[in-house]
Structure 1
């Protein structure tokens, strides 16, 4: 079956975004499907950009469409060190022959596929600057299957406008699954019966699978040190961030590798995607405010703390709490710096056998959902 995936893919520094896309594609290809990503750009209207920015954007679209270069728009303006995201996309992600910048373009000349899948990531979060409507797949032939896999809304409650969007669009889906448990009731309230709660695509693979799927190198740590990896995103503020960083960096015998992204410039390293996985695999302890950073701590059975979103982004904590509650890992969330709790969590032994068994059972739910949806 030919499957077109609608998800987020443009980032040049958000590791989780690319790894969830890679994971879903890889799983579907292992099942024998022909998989590609719809090259849809989630960007502000070009009318709001300078003439130079519009020209750069047009050049990138031309190169992508005519030479299959898989360049991201951010390449034209990015000034941070290169993390190798563009070659990763070129090697591991196959894209649609043409690019799209609006829902109108998707409707006028839709990508050809037997099925469209939206998800994972927060494709149904309608609070972002770019509306979520294109990710409800309202384009293409009526005979094309429309499936949501682990689509994330990222919040517990919808605005009246977004609730109406869900009511209009979910009726067109052949199968719906969501990433957060609370999203089940949102879908049923919108009139869709029997949505399924499934794991993020990255959880479709266990630790050893990931080490086999990508050329994961050893983490760049000194052998004799206690290895701490920090991964922070700048799209929300972190309570007591400097207190956490100062305390960890002052620990004797500790080596800290800190990757940051999404506007956070506090990091000291810029790993490629396989290197990022290597840092997690080799670390003794990890601190992050990233959902996917937390997910890979769980996959690799690492000691960790998760720092929740605050301020305007506090509602996005649902994707974190939904997962850690399922696995009884609530104690790993810290809402403010607490030295005693920090010390305890750095030594805490999680019952990883229980967690791994829970993940294995949940994978079976995902496998069954996708098998039935794609028949």
Structure 2
């Protein structure tokens, strides 16, 4: 049994994917007999910036209300192990590193471009003497910028580099290192395991199908959303929430993580612009349409590369109500999808476990 410290994003009170990918990696590694915890690294400067943004938009109180409704902290308390110490700076990590045999960075966009050098060095694991691995680390971009030398020097110390997108593999290869394109941590758990923690929610059976719509953007960030919601509401029982950094009052519900899983699994169809919501639709074999993000087109590679690999790229559509309605009436061939994804998951698990003794 090894002691493993995981470096990933963990502080969000509204991003379901961030929370559940961290839970999934930890749960999987614990099943393998390891002692696992998420390192509570949270740059003080970034936290101050986040609060200032909410104050600037006059959304500070709405943010507090949203946190209470979504119950992320309750989920964390019940399901996730964290380091006792909170590291507010990179220097704190470097001077008193978390005790572990292995450090794993990932998943999520932990290798996105960061001007804040403290965050960049933290997520490149430039501290401690534990063996270093990456699992499903995402760059969220197609090429490095002025941080290229930082990555070249840091990745030299890694014994295994698993990335979440094909473009991430190409970036690592361009630095002269080998990388493996692995599945997101949420796929390391089975549909049965996810259903064991979902909430008990029963959606109505009134002759209309139930549709769950979950977006990362809100209506001020994507002005096409109101028309899409209006069109879908005419034909479906509609349930809508978003994970915008700036809260709004357009959501019809603010589900807990357990409820969020239930709305995906129990709905007849899901419409989303989220990578992780798409992944859970695939895990649960729920028909879905993934729409292009108007304010995040540069981050679409994580979706398109994954959907291409498992034969579902036709589920990715422009953000247009007519196109979405046409696509809703088409159904994936789940037998083919499940076969392809299962093979990929098995390779990913093998790569991860053989690098941890």
- Common fold by TM > 0.5: yes
User: 1:227 deviation in Å?
Assistant: 0.4
Q: Give ranges in structure 1 of 5+ residues lacking alignment.
A: 54-73
Q: Alpha carbons of 1:319 and 1:363: their partners in 2 closer, same or farther (altered >3 Å)?
A: same
Contact kept, 8 Å, 2:42 with 2:88, in 1: the verdict is: yes
For 2:24 and 2:174, how far apart are their aligned partners in 1?
30
Q: Pick the aligned partner of 1:83 from 42, 48, 70.
A: 70
Figure out how many residues of one structure are paired with residues of the other and give that number: 344
Deviation string 1:81-137 (CA, Å, 9 cap, x unpaired) is 521111111111111111011111100111000000000011111157684321111
CA distance in 1, matches of 2:239, 2:201: 9
Q: 182-191 vs 130-139, which deviates more? A: 130-139
- Distance in 2 (CA, whole Å) between partners of 1:14 and 1:185 is 28
Aligned-pair RMSD on alpha carbons?
2.4
| d(CA) in 2 for partners of 1:49, 1:26 | 29
Runs of 4+ in 1 over 6 A off after TM superposition: 46-51, 74-77
Q: Aligned match of 1:333 in 316, 322, 338?
A: 316
Give the TM-score taking structure 2 as reference length: 0.90
Q: Take 1:283 and 1:122, find their aligned partners in 2: how far apart are those partners?
A: 28
Match of 1:174 in 2: 159
Separation in 2, partners of 1:350, 1:50: 42
Pairwise CA distance, 1:46: 7.0
Equivalent residue for 2:239? Answer: 257
| Match status 1:307 vs 2:312 | no
In structure 2, runs of 5+ residues without a counterpart are 55-59
Specify whether residues 138 and 14 from structure 1 end up closer, same or farther in structure 2 by C-alpha distance, changes over 3 A only: same
Secondary structure of 2:214's counterpart equals strand
Q: Does residue 148 of structure 1 match 2:131? A: no
The partner residue of 2:210 within 212, 215, 227 is: 227
TM-score between both structures, scaled by the size of structure 1? 0.86
- 1:343 positional shift: 2.9
Corresponding residue number in structure 1 for 2:10: 9
Q: Measure, in 2, the Cα distance between the counterparts of 1:49 and 1:184.
A: 31
What whole-Å deviation, never above 9, does each CA across 1:25-75 have from its counterpart, x for those lacking one? 010000000001101114526777999x9xxxxxxxxxxxxxxxxxxxx99
DSSP 3-state at the match of 2:156: helix
Paired residue secondary structure (2:127): coil
Change in 2 beyond 3 A, CA 1:47/1:344? closer
